[in-house]
Chains A and B, each alone.
Chain A
Amino acid sequence: MDPSQPPVENYANPNTCLFHVLFKGAALAFYILSALFFNSFVIIFVVTVLLAALDFWVVKNVSGRILVGLRWWNEIDDLGESVWKFESLDQESLARMNKKDSWLFWWTLYLAAAAWLILGVFSLIRFQADYLLVVGVCLSLNVANIIGFTKCKKDAKKQFQQFASQTIASRFQSTVQSAFTLV
């Protein structure tokens, strides 16, 4: 992460970016390096899965909001049906979002999932079912975030298009009204 590139805009939220990357990197690093230091599978499992879970929470609740202005969650409504809710900032704020922040957000999300996939293939090749369990849990957490945020982004675009057409219609109406009253 370069903190200073004068001709280009900097990261607007360096702390958040750092934490976004920190837990992902820590989980991957711990998993890869732990075989050198720890004999115990339990510790590897617990620490890796804990870091992955922390990363999931940070991405979903903190860096998603701050870096790209999106948020997703699931609710159960009064009828007992499960509803996925998406929330986003309005279009202007989204346009004002730091490009570097959102680039970092999306790319680290994809890269982490790809890394876990590769590690999963390795443990599959080596027939280590218990490590496959760890990789499976971490991968599913990452993929859940990717899917959630992608859906949220699409929903935000759709919402904005609806809002845009609605606004155009109402502006047209008010312009016509003002034209008639002024004339």
Chain B
Amino acid sequence: MSHNDTIPLYQSSQSDIDEIENMMNQEFQSGPGTVLPARPPSPIRPSIPVTSSPFVQSNLPPLPPPSSSSQKVTSVPVPPSLPPPSSGNFGGGSDGKTIGGSGFGPPPNTLTEPVWDTVKRDLARIVSNLKLVVFPNPNREDPGKALRDWDLWGPFFFIVFLGLTLSWSASVKKSEVFAVAFALLAAGAVILTLNVLLLGGHIIFFQSLSLLGYCLFPLDVGAVICMLKDNVILKMIVVCVTLAWSSWAAYPFMSAAVNPRRKALALYPVFLMYVSVGFLIIAID
């Protein structure tokens, strides 16, 4: 590995034999183990053409200053122009090719991208997940495909928002209301997922948590409306409508995950949890 004992900052540091070998390599094979470090010279951080799908965690508020430290790398040449992987050091690089191409455009060079890009990508993911889960769309028949790109930020914000709304509506014991709402929803989501897994269903833990969190969105809307208008009849109607909406949103994913004979066993607890949240919303005064 003579290429790695001196750090090749400049291509002129290669010896002649290496150059001949490189030329022969390029003729003979374009396979793995290309010895030519096909990187642009003197990058601040080398750009690795990694093929990978977008990431899991995302965030809502942008972070202004970190982007200044990463703006330096925006001048590094764009990855797709580089030849295929110059070093094999990315886990699942070849898997990433197949996945990365499935609907997210050309796979981004995520290891050296500017921070703002990460933030925007994660925000876009939250919005798209929300649309997939809560609003009618053609992908609902295939639940595995729909929430393939799960993230937990959306659910986190919805749960916190619901807790805050309930807490705000309450005139006494605000802290308890918030704690109860948060614990109920978080523990409830975990237990419901375990329920499906124990029923022999095929569901991925975080995907299910993500789904149950996103399905809280209608109840969030309902809670806000109930907070603004204090009429009991109106509250009941609003809660019933949003409850039906939440259950409708959660139904295809949960029912597809289990054996058809056990569908009711899997769906009933979900419905129960949403009903109890609905009662919390109505009962808060």
A62→B92 contact, CB < 8 A: no
Asked if A76 CB lies within 8 Å of chain B CBs, one says: yes
CA distance A78 to B157 in the complex (A): 28
Residues of A within 8 A of B95 (CB): 77, 83, 85
B175→A130 contact, CB < 8 A: yes
B145-199 contacts to A, CB under 8 A, are 148-150, 153, 156, 160, 163-164, 167, 174-175, 178-179, 182-183
Asked if A16 CB lies within 8 Å of chain B CBs, one says: yes
B55→A73 contact, CB < 8 A: yes
Asked if A41 CB lies within 8 Å of chain B CBs, one says: yes
Nearest B residue to A182 via CB reads: B20
A74→B87 contact, CB < 8 A: no
B167 → chain A closest CB, angstroms: 5
Q: Is the interface of A mostly helix, strand, loop or mixed?
A: helix
1/0 per residue, CB under 8 A from B, across A40-82: the answer is 1110011001100110111011100110010101111110111
A95-118 contacts to B, CB under 8 A, are 95-96
Asked if B86 CB lies within 8 Å of chain A CBs, one says: yes
Asked if A5 CB lies within 8 Å of chain B CBs, one says: no
A82 → chain B closest CB, angstroms: 5
Asked if B32 CB lies within 8 Å of chain A CBs, one says: yes
Asked if A35 CB lies within 8 Å of chain B CBs, one says: no
Residues of A within 8 A of B167 (CB): 42
A66→B69 contact, CB < 8 A: yes
B179→A80 contact, CB < 8 A: no
Asked if B12 CB lies within 8 Å of chain A CBs, one says: no
B179→A45 contact, CB < 8 A: yes
Q: Which of B58, B163, B175 contacts A57 (CB 8 A)?
A: B58
A85→B179 contact, CB < 8 A: no
CA distance A85 to B65 in the complex (A): 28
Size of the A side of the interface (Cβ < 8 Å), in residues, is: 64
CA distance A90 to B144 in the complex (A): 33
B165 → chain A closest CB, angstroms: 11
B1-32 contacts to A, CB under 8 A, are 1, 4, 7-8, 17, 20-21, 24-25, 28, 32
CA distance A42 to B168 in the complex (A): 10
With A61-B118, A83-B92, A90-B48: A167-B63 Cβ-Cβ less than 8 Å:
no
Asked if A150 CB lies within 8 Å of chain B CBs, one says: no
Interface residues on B, range: 35 or more
Nearest A residue to B65 via CB reads: A15
Nearest A residue to B118 via CB reads: A61
Q: Which of B86, B164, B179, B206 contacts A82 (CB 8 A)?
A: B206
Q: Which of B63, B88, B99, B118 contacts A163 (CB 8 A)?
A: B88
Asked if B259 CB lies within 8 Å of chain A CBs, one says: no
A91→B156 contact, CB < 8 A: no
Residues of A within 8 A of B150 (CB): 76
B66→A86 contact, CB < 8 A: no
Asked if A30 CB lies within 8 Å of chain B CBs, one says: no
Asked if B264 CB lies within 8 Å of chain A CBs, one says: no
A91→B4 contact, CB < 8 A: yes
B63→A19 contact, CB < 8 A: yes
A69 → chain B closest CB, angstroms: 7
A34 → chain B closest CB, angstroms: 13
The interface-forming segment of B108-116, B216-224, B228-236 is B108-116
CA distance A95 to B7 in the complex (A): 10
Residues of B within 8 A of A16 (CB): 66, 69-70
A170→B33 contact, CB < 8 A: yes
List 24 A-B pairs, Cβ < 8 Å: A19-B66, A42-B175, A45-B182, A53-B156, A57-B122, A58-B66, A61-B118, A66-B69, A73-B52, A75-B148, A77-B99, A82-B206, A85-B95, A87-B91, A88-B111, A89-B111, A90-B89, A91-B87, A92-B7, A93-B45, A159-B91, A166-B33, A170-B33, A178-B21
Binding site for B on A (CB under 8 A): 13, 15-16, 19, 40-42, 45-46, 49-50, 53-54, 56-58, 60-62, 65-66, 69, 71, 73-78, 80-83, 85-93, 95-96, 130, 133, 152, 155-156, 159-160, 162-164, 166-171, 174-175, 177-178
Binding site for A on B (CB under 8 A): 1, 4, 7-8, 17, 20-21, 24-25, 28, 32-33, 35, 37, 45-46, 48, 50, 52-53, 55-59, 61, 63, 65-66, 68-70, 86-92, 95-96, 98-99, 102, 110-112, 115, 118, 122, 144, 148-150, 153, 156, 160, 163-164, 167, 174-175, 178-179, 182-183, 202, 204-207
